[in-house]
A and B are shown apart, each in its own frame.
Chain A
């Protein structure tokens, strides 16, 4: 087994939004800190750092994951998708982002990236969800601004309903 000293930095290389990027991380560096402060991907936010609020959710190897509960070194070689990679190829807002805008599904926007990433994965697995399924999915996220109703509407709209 490879042993790394606790204060020794090692190179971590991963694919983020289809681009190969790399940086250095001590074994205990959280993935959130690595993404934000090492790679400069500030779109992923940290609301609690203990796995409850969902703000830090990103997609790792096709699974919606709380990045505050991962170490960067655990993700070496993996494929990540973050909010920075959501726009359509032509650089315009994708259907989900547009629906958030049109329905007023965000206010301060701090929780939004995490919710967008969860909702993206959710809609891939359940393209025509009903209201209660959407509300249920959202139970893994805390939003203090919106009261959730407009988020539910936006996700339903993005699903074409």
Chain B
């Protein structure tokens, strides 16, 4: 028996989770395990493999004719059925969940096939013929912002779709008065927490009455319900959202599935059947959602003594191809706490949101936090370097002091409680900071690259729904009408058998809500947590939900749990009243303990809680006067501080403010670029701890996400905005061996903002680990000019003073108009030379001979000469296990007889497309031999690029090698006088004999 089974107070106990047994035995049910309605059909989504293109035509006839296919839905049919999905910013962008006449990112839905099973649906999407007219594309917000960049949305007139500036205090004066000003410019990479379970949903449209029902693993916020009903054109009660009992992780990402919910709802309506869609991993990595990548800068003004006088943030957010709600919230979540942990009063912020040809962004663990702290906590470190003080010292110098709480931050947040210096001191102690510094000196004197970095941050939790409206000016807000609040709801009920059920409407995805709610209710009712059942899923027709319902912004332990506690208290009060009457004592003299309602000090005078509670159903006439029968208590908690933004753009953005202090020490190997985390300490203030197992789990989990962002994870796009990270072999999640030992420290300053004194937590080190590690790496490398993730080649370059190849930054071409196949910068480049066994004239002749080419081009099924210097071909190529047929067009240009030529070509197939060019020169190499030099560059897009990126270079080299070996063999066998015509057997085997 666990000690906790006899605990007097369950809250705060290390109580193992109630959720686990079902999950450990395969009994838990996730969305793909449900068949909630009969006659479900299965769907597959055809997605754009172009980053930016006009859709010239879509031919679905072959797909529709495939046996087993129920129907094909394209953008046109969807646009006839629904309205665009509303946005949080007022820009003239029509956001449909499927491309209508243009595609704007690789992965954007283009058509949906609904069939008997998923296999057939996937066969059918390959039969859809889409003709695209490619446009120039970029994944880089700085390029998209530039003057002559091609617009993604013509009606907006710019790719900058949102621009606001803010001033708090007097930043100009602060910078004027500063002794030192430090400035950093940087890129923050794009990554995602990629939950292990992808999006999944079943959509069913019923007639009479017209009603959509959607079962899904959507996480909320349910404010998005309003946007979905807007798009579907139905009142709220005609869109019923039901969440699955379990969700396989979310981290914010499953917020952004609402466009897919609308899309499949529309398909169900168009085709008249329930439709199921389970996203696959490639779809998830290219078409779901991600955190924002940013191209920001920050400036900090310091006095000589280290006081931080002012801050200027210049934020450029790559929002992706559309501004999907609740964006631009990612840049506003931290906004009202722009001072971080510091007393600085003078702050200027400029926010720009830029659309690019990338997947739209959305919530992701730490939402906007990592990017914000990457600015603030690096510029603090840079300031310390500049002033020659210890980075711990400069933070101490500026921390808000314990006696200043509640602390009104300049941009409007009210910090509930904290002691930032205590956390720092604890971290210093746990890290043995002085010893670490000594170790650094030693390592450096041995010529090693050793660095220490730290980061301090507050963790806002329980969001005010109104902070998103900072995206509007005060005048626009006034016109739109007030917005505020972040309601949390909970119901505690006791049924006629006396069993207790709690409903939290909190859609957890592994955060242990059932356990923690059961602990709270067990305490209030004198029961054990295993006697309390907790239902966390949402059904918008039967649950007590509100706009803020859902699971995000750490709202469970900052808001929802308060509502649970209040509801449980109301039930307890009623039970005590009834028991008091039966026991003939005053209600104040009754306590609920060990399953009994008993008289304080006289435990033998007791009644079982179950029996007392059941009386409210079985014998209402015997209840105390005025008491309502039944026992259902629903509490709606509105944290009162969550008001609307004021005219100075100040808003109380959240309810509780936890605190995290992280410290990292790293060593970088100059020879390999390998980075080793020698020490990592993380100290947390989460207010009162509700369940140690759950809290610890969040800390370790958040740390692993931060580590991923720091070291490995990036959704890479090439210069043409083709995504390159379509599998878990390309997008590298942290695995167990990469996680260093983590030393955790705790202290708590209870929050005055809920009865339990708890604070939201869960983002934790996911926000700070990237920064602490970046600071440590900067210290090791002696430069702040580094970029996450700290991959081997970047570290190696920085360690050896070499220029750093920046992700996606690129030589991408800026400019309008369809890209010319013969005038672009390719992502895939290479060159080489071979020696061939014939003189240049002979080589030249054979090189231009279609039969020879057909025979030696690897995988060539067919090659036809269509003009003097033009050929078409059908080629089968396999990359990374996906084999496909491509149709190619090849043109020869700039021919100089027996000397040189240029090949320009493009190819496309169901699995992707490519375009490229190559240069070939011939020179005599004595003894009737020829040296052939070649170089090429190519751009590859679509599925083949997303899942096969790591292999493309190698495969290309392999194919070129095969080609020339075949070619040379051919030269040898043809000889000078021989004909190049091939016999039947030669033809049959020629193409494959390399």
Q: A residues touching B (Cβ–Cβ < 8 Å)?
A: 26, 28-29, 36, 41-50, 52-53, 55, 82-84, 86-87, 93, 97, 100-104, 106-113, 116, 134-136, 138-152
Expressed in whole angstroms, the Cα–Cα distance for A109 and B515 within the complex equals: 15
| Interface residues contributed by chain B, number (CB under 8 Å) | 58
Smallest CB-CB separation from B727: which chain A residue?
A50
**Count of A-B contacts judged by CB separation below 8 Å:** 178
Q: With a CB–CB cut-off of 8 A, which chain A residues contact B17?
A: 101, 104
Inter-chain contact A107/B701, CB cutoff 8 Å: yes
Contact residues in B for A106 (Cβ distance below 8 Å): 20, 23-24, 510
Contact present for B25 and A47 (CB under 8 Å): no
Least Cβ–Cβ distance between A49 and chain B, in angstroms: 6
- Whether B249 and A107, one on each chain, are in contact in the complex, defined by CB atoms closer than 8 angstroms, is yes
Q: Is B804 an interface residue (CB 8 A)?
A: no
Residues of B within 8 A of A45 (CB): 30, 196-197, 248
Supply 7 further A-B pairs (C-beta < 8 A) apart from A47-B196, A147-B699.
A42-B29, A49-B280, A52-B728, A109-B24, A138-B736, A140-B735, A147-B742
Task: Choose among B2, B248, B703, B735 the residue that contacts A139 (Cβ–Cβ < 8 A).
Answer: B735
B249: A residues at CB distance < 8 A: 107-108, 110, 144-145
Q: Is the CB of B196 within 8 A of A143?
A: yes
Given contacts A50-B729, A102-B16, A144-B251, contact A112 B23 (CB under 8 A): yes
Closest 8 CB pairs of A and B: A43-B26, A110-B248, A109-B23, A108-B510, A107-B510, A147-B700, A147-B704, A138-B736
Min C-beta distance of A116 to chain B, whole Å:
7
Q: Which of chain B's residues has its CB closest to A104's CB? A: B693
B1-28, CB under 8 A of A: which get 1 and which 0?
0100000000000001101111111111
- The reply on B697 being an interface residue by CB < 8 A is yes
Contact partner, A152, options B197, B699, B736, Cβ 8 Å = B736
Q: Closest CB-CB distance, B727 to chain A, in whole Å?
A: 5
A107 touches B737 (CB 8 A): no
Indicate whether B281 reaches chain A with its CB closer than 8 angstroms.
Answer: yes
Q: Is B524 an interface residue (CB 8 A)?
A: no
Inter-chain contact B737/A136, CB cutoff 8 Å: yes
**Residue among A44, A109, A139 facing the most chain B CB atoms (10 A cut-off):** A109
Q: Does B570 contact A (CB under 8 A)?
A: no
Which of A29, A48, A86, A145 sits near B281, CB closer than 8 Å?
A: A48
Complex contacts, B196 vs chain A, CB 8 Å: 45, 47, 53, 55, 108, 110-111, 142-145
Question: Is the pair A109, B19 in contact by a Cβ cutoff of 8 Å?
Answer: yes
User: In the complex, A83 Cα to B281 Cα: how many Å?
Assistant: 23
Instruction: Tell whether, in the assembled complex, residue B16 and residue A48 are in contact, meaning their CB atoms are under 8 Å apart.
Output: no
Q: Across the two chains, which residue of chain A brings its CB closest to B280?
A: A49
B366 lies within 8 A of chain A by Cβ: no
Which residue of A42, A111, A140 has the most chain B CB atoms within 10 A of its CB atom? A42
Most buried by A among B16, B23, B194, B197: B23
The residues of B that contact A97 with a CB separation of less than 8 Å are 24-25
Q: Which of B20, B119, B281 contacts A26 (CB 8 A)?
A: B119
A135 vs B736: C-alpha distance in the bound complex, in angstroms? 5
The answer to whether A109 and B729 touch across the interface, beta carbons within 8 angstroms, is no
Measured between beta carbons, the chain A residues less than 8 angstroms from B27 are 43
Within 8 A of A (CB), among B188-222: 193-198
Contact partners of B694 in chain A: CB under 8 A? 104
Which residues on the A side are within 8 Å of B509 (C-beta)?
108
Q: Most A CB atoms within 10 A — which of B30, B197, B198, B736?
A: B736
Inter-chain contact A36/B23, CB cutoff 8 Å: no
B305 contact set on A, CB distance < 8 A: none
Interface class of chain A by DSSP: loop
In the complex, are the beta carbons of A147 and B32 less than 8 A apart?
Answer: no
Q: Which residue of A lies closest to B729 (CB)?
A: A52
Taken residue by residue from 241 to 263, chain B's Cβ proximity to chain A (1 for < 8 Å, 0 otherwise) reads as 00000111111000000000000
CA distance A120 to B730 in the complex (A): 29
A-B contact pairs, 29 of them (CB 8 A): A29-B119, A42-B33, A43-B26, A47-B196, A50-B728, A52-B729, A84-B25, A101-B17, A101-B21, A104-B697, A106-B24, A108-B195, A108-B196, A108-B246, A108-B247, A108-B249, A109-B19, A109-B248, A110-B249, A136-B737, A144-B249, A146-B697, A146-B700, A147-B697, A147-B700, A147-B704, A147-B705, A147-B734, A148-B700
- Asked whether, in the complex, the Cβ of A145 is within 8 Å of the Cβ of B701, the reply is yes
Contacts of A55 in B (CB 8 A): 196
> Which A residues are CB-close (under 8 A) to B288?
none
User: What's the nearest-Cβ distance from chain B to residue A26, in Å?
Assistant: 7
CA distance A43 to B30 in the complex (A): 10
Tell me whether A87 and B25 are in contact (CB under 8 A): yes
B646 interface residue (CB < 8 Å to A): no
Report A-chain residues with C-beta under 8 Å of the C-beta of B21. 93, 101
A29–B118 CA distance with the chains assembled, in angstroms: 10
A141 to chain B: closest CB distance in Å?
A: 7
**A138 contacts across to B, CB distance below 8 A:** 735-737
Asked if B728 and A109 sit within 8 Å, CB to CB, the answer is no
B733 at the interface (CB under 8 A from A): yes
Q: Indicate if the CB atoms of A48 and B728 lie closer than 8 Å.
A: yes
Taking a contact as CB atoms under 8 Å apart, the answer to whether A144 and B193 are in contact is yes
- B56 in the interface, Cβ–Cβ < 8 Å? no
- A53 contacts which chain B residues (CB < 8 A)? 196, 281, 728
The answer to whether A100 and B693 touch across the interface, beta carbons within 8 angstroms, is no
Chain B residue with Cβ nearest A96: B24
B386: Cβ under 8 A from any A Cβ: no
- From A46, A103, A110, A139, residue with most partner B Cβ within 10 Å: A110
Shortest CB–CB separation between residue A129 and chain B, in angstroms? Answer: 13
- Give bound CA distance, A107 to B197, whole Å: 12
Is residue B77 within 8 Å, beta carbon to beta carbon, of the partner chain?
no
Residues of A near B274 (CB, < 8 A) are none
Q: Tell me, rounded to whole Å, the shortest Cβ–Cβ distance linking B768 to chain A.
A: 14
Which B residues are in CB contact (< 8 Å) with A100?
Answer: 20, 24
Q: B16 — which chain A residues lie within 8 A by C-beta?
A: 101-102, 104
The complex places the Cα of A144 from the Cα of B739 at a distance, in Å, of 12
Whole-angstrom distance between the Cβ of B1 and the nearest chain A Cβ: 12
Q: Write the B28-40 contact mask toward A (1 if CB under 8 angstroms, else 0).
A: 1110110000000
Select one of A44, A102, A150 contacting B700, CB under 8 A: A150
B512: Cβ under 8 A from any A Cβ = yes
Asked if residues A145 and B119 are in contact (CB atoms below 8 Å), the reply is: no
Per-residue interface assignment for chain B, residues 500 to 530, with 1 indicating a CB less than 8 Å from any chain A CB and 0 otherwise: 0000000001111000000000000000000
A44 cross-chain contacts in B, Cβ below 8 A: 26
Decide yes or no: A149 and B24 within 8 Å by CB, A109-B246, A138-B735, A138-B736 being known contacts.
Answer: no
Q: Which residues of A contact B20 (CB under 8 A)?
A: 100-101, 106, 109
CA distance A28 to B693 in the complex (A): 43
Report chain A residues within 8 Å CB of B193: 144
Residues in B neighbouring A148, C-beta threshold 8 A: 700, 704, 735-736, 739
Is B390 part of the binding interface, using a Cβ–Cβ cutoff of 8 Å? no
Among candidates B696, B733, B736, residue contacting A144 with C-beta atoms closer than 8 Å? B733
A47 to B862, CA, bound (A): 39
B contact residues around A87 at 8 Å (CB) = 25
Q: Which of A84, A86, A108, A150 makes the CB contact (< 8 A) with B248?
A: A108
- Bound CA–CA A132/B26 (angstroms): 28
- Measured in the bound complex, the distance between the Cα atoms of B739 and A26 in whole Å is 42
**Alpha-carbon separation in the docked complex, A52 to B947 (Å):** 13
- Knowing A41-B26, A101-B21, A116-B24, the reply to whether A107 touches B512 (Cβ < 8 A) is yes
Residues of B near A139 (CB, < 8 A) are: 735-737
